[in-house]
Amino acid sequence: MLKRHVTVLSAFFCAASLPCHAAGSGYGIGAPIDPKAVSAWNIDIDSAGHGLPVGSGDVAHGKEIFGAKCASCHGANGEGGIGDPLVGGMGTLADAKPKKTIGSYWPYPTTLFDYIRRAMPYDAPQSLSADEVYALSAYLLYLNHVVPENTRLDAQSLPKVKMPNREGFVSDPRPGKL
């Protein structure tokens, strides 16, 4: 019974002149994926900065955007609110209650770009332009005393920013363990 339905259905789709690429093999459905459709999902950036888009942004512009789109959850100066604190915590990693922030904990500046572009603002992810994400990255690194106030970041300069905790991670090369 089920088989008959499937046969009838595929006959219908082919008759309706939808693509029947693999006719005669497999299920006879599907089409090669358009590289443009993949590129919308393929937005990861690695620690060396591969994948960073064209564009740039500076601390002053980042401050403006932060006030409009981020401060409601992260506090006026990134001190935290209903969202995580984004500044501070330097020197607390060995404490009983370490305060892990971009400045005190994150090893790579490129992760900041990737994370903001992918996930923030929390209520409107992936709504920011590349220029806005560079500007916000510059502002948050400035708030954490990692870069000076006149900083402008782009695909070349962002990966070169040295994070304070860059050397704070140890490798754990036990085979078979994550």
Site residues for ligand HEC per CB under 6 A: 69-70, 72-74, 83-84, 86, 101-102, 115-116, 120-123, 136
What is d(CA 105, CA 146) in angstroms, rounded to the nearest whole number? Answer: 12
Nearer to ligand HEC, 34 or 123 (CB): 123
What is d(CA 145, CA 36) in angstroms, rounded to the nearest whole number? Answer: 39
Cα 93 to its chain centre, rounded Å, is 24
Nearer to ligand HEC, 28 or 53 (CB): 53
Nearer to ligand HEC, 5 or 97 (CB): 97
Q: How far is the CB of 92 from ligand HEC (least distance, A)?
A: 13
Helices and strands (H, E) in the chain, number of each type: 6, 2
Nearer to ligand HEC, 59 or 136 (CB): 136
Q: How far is the CB of 58 from ligand HEC (least distance, A)?
A: 15
Residue 99: count other Cβ atoms within 10 Å of its Cβ. 17
Q: How far is the CB of 114 from ligand HEC (least distance, A)?
A: 10
Q: How far is the CB of 5 from ligand HEC (least distance, A)?
A: 43
Q: Tell me the CA distances in angstroms from 130 to 18, 27, 44, one per residue in order.
A: 37, 41, 13
Residue 150 tokens read as: 């006149």
- The string over 24-61, giving b where at least 16 C-beta atoms fall within 10 Å of a residue's C-beta and e elsewhere, is eeeeeeeeeeeeeeeeeeeeebeeebeebeeebbbbeb
Nearer to ligand HEC, 120 or 146 (CB): 120
Q: How far is the CB of 21 from ligand HEC (least distance, A)?
A: 40
